A and B are shown apart, each in its own frame.
Chain A
Amino acid sequence: MSETAEVIGTEEEKAAAAEAGAGEENKSADTHADDTAISESESSAEDVLVREGDIAGDYLERLLDLLDYDGDIDLDVEAGRAIVSIDGGDDLEKLVGPRGTVLEALQELTRLAVQQETGSRSRLMLDVAGWRAGRREELRRIGRTAAENVAKSGEKEKLQPMSPFERKVVHDAVAEVDGVTSESEGEEPKRRVVVVPE
């Protein structure tokens, strides 16, 4: 009985293997087709982001001209989004503003200008005078310190209200510390990160 079963089993396995083989062949054909499709869509996605950067660069360059501000515009594509950075003179501080509020507003307008040309929503990131880079480091410190405090005390800690970008950086920093987790509470623009013991 068991032998028969084994034979049957083997037959079944063979059949399954054959099917799987056929399936795999199909699959590999599909995969191949997909690969081509993916690389094509990837390169066109990259093209879209490069174009986003170009439109944003033109929009901001003209603004700097009209304001008579010194600034060099650098375009990049990183992690699936266009990055536009402006670096230059002291005037640029005015385009950052207190706690980056003017930078957020200018980023919003730049995204709209890109959308106006391309017809689709843009997630481009604008940085001015390295503010985001500097602020990111500061936020990482804030997140790490709060997480370590909460891990020690076991009591939750509310942080200052922050923009979505800022909260994201803090959440990421908290996630690197064991025994704590973080969530956001409240409504924009007063939404804030709360660090809680796990």
Chain B
Amino acid sequence: MSFLADSLEHLVRGIVDNPDDVRVDLVSSRRGRTLEVHVHPDDLGKVIGRSGRTATSLRTVMNSVGGKGIRVDVIDTDR
């Protein structure tokens, strides 16, 4: 299943200023599978996009290739 994390990592790396800081973890829990996207704090805005549009696009693509119910969370590394 790591192809999902790798694919998402690739999609995100292409649209940020700090591609080397991008990491995607696939986390499984009782609530299902989640792809956790970690990016440089300066790139958060780019990954989320205006009105969350970019994050929505990432979710749309990952849900389609990874099956319904896979979540995509953008993690603020500052937290």
Contact = CB atoms under 8 A, between A and B. Distances in A.
Interface of A: 59, 62-63, 66-68, 94-95, 97, 101-102, 104-106, 108-109, 112-113, 116
A95 B65 contact: yes
Interface stretch (B5-13, B25-33, B34-42): B5-13
Q: Is the interface of B mostly helix, strand, loop or mixed?
A: helix
Contacts of A112: 14-15, 46, 49, 54
Contacts of B6: 66
A105 B61 contact: yes
Most buried by A among B6, B53, B57, B58: B57
Contact of A63 (B11, B17, B64): B11
Nearest to B63: A102
Given A63-B10, A112-B15, A113-B15, 6 more contacts: A66-B3, A101-B60, A105-B58, A106-B57, A112-B14, A112-B54
